[in-house]
C-alpha cells in the first residue's frame, strides 16, 4: 500500500426529497471535501440525487455474520409487532 492510495469512503445519496439517504457505493478520496465532490461527480451525474453523505469506510461499525442469529432471529417470533397479527371484525373502519 503506497502513500498515494487514498482512503475509502462510503457514499449515501438522497435521491429526492422525502426519501432517506441510501447507500450508493464507495470511492477513494484524500479527505471529506473531495470525497463529497467525487461522490457528486460519480454517483449523481444523471441527476440521481439532492443530497449526499460520505463516511470513511473505516468508521462504519457493522454487525457481524457470527452475531446474525443473536441479532436478528429473536425478532422473527414476535408477530404481535405487526398489524396483521390482529383480527378486527369486518366493517370496523379507520383502524
With binding defined as CB under 8 A, does residue 94 bind another protein? no
DSSP state of 6: P
Q: What are all long-range contacts of 88-92, with beta carbons under 8 Å and residues at least 24 apart?
A: none
Binding part of the chain for another protein, among 2-10, 73-81, 82-90 by CB under 8 A, reads 2-10
With binding defined as CB under 8 A, does residue 51 bind another protein? no
Q: In the sheet that 22-28 helps form, which strands lie side by side, from edge to edge?
A: 22-28, 8-14, 51-56
Find the binder of another protein among 26, 85, 89, 91 (CB under 8 A). 26
With binding defined as CB under 8 A, does residue 52 bind another protein? no
By CB under 8 A, the residues from 62 to 91 that bind another protein are 62-66
Amino acid at each position: 500500500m503506497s502513500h498515494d492510495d487514498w482512503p475509502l469512503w462510503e457514499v449515501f445519496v438522497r435521491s429526492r426529497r422525502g426519501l432517506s439517504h441510501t447507500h450508493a457505493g464507495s470511492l477513494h478520496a484524500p479527505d471529506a471535501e473531495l470525497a463529497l465532490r467525487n461522490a457528486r461527480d460519480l454517483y449523481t451525474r444523471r441527476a440521481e440525487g439532492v443530497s449526499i453523505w460520505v463516511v470513511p469506510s473505516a468508521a462504519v461499525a457493522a454487525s457481524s455474520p457470527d452475531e446474525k442469529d443473536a441479532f436478528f432471529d429473536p425478532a422473527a417470533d414476535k408477530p404481535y409487532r405487526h398489524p396483521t397479527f390482529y383480527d378486527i371484525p369486518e366493517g370496523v373502519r379507520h383502524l
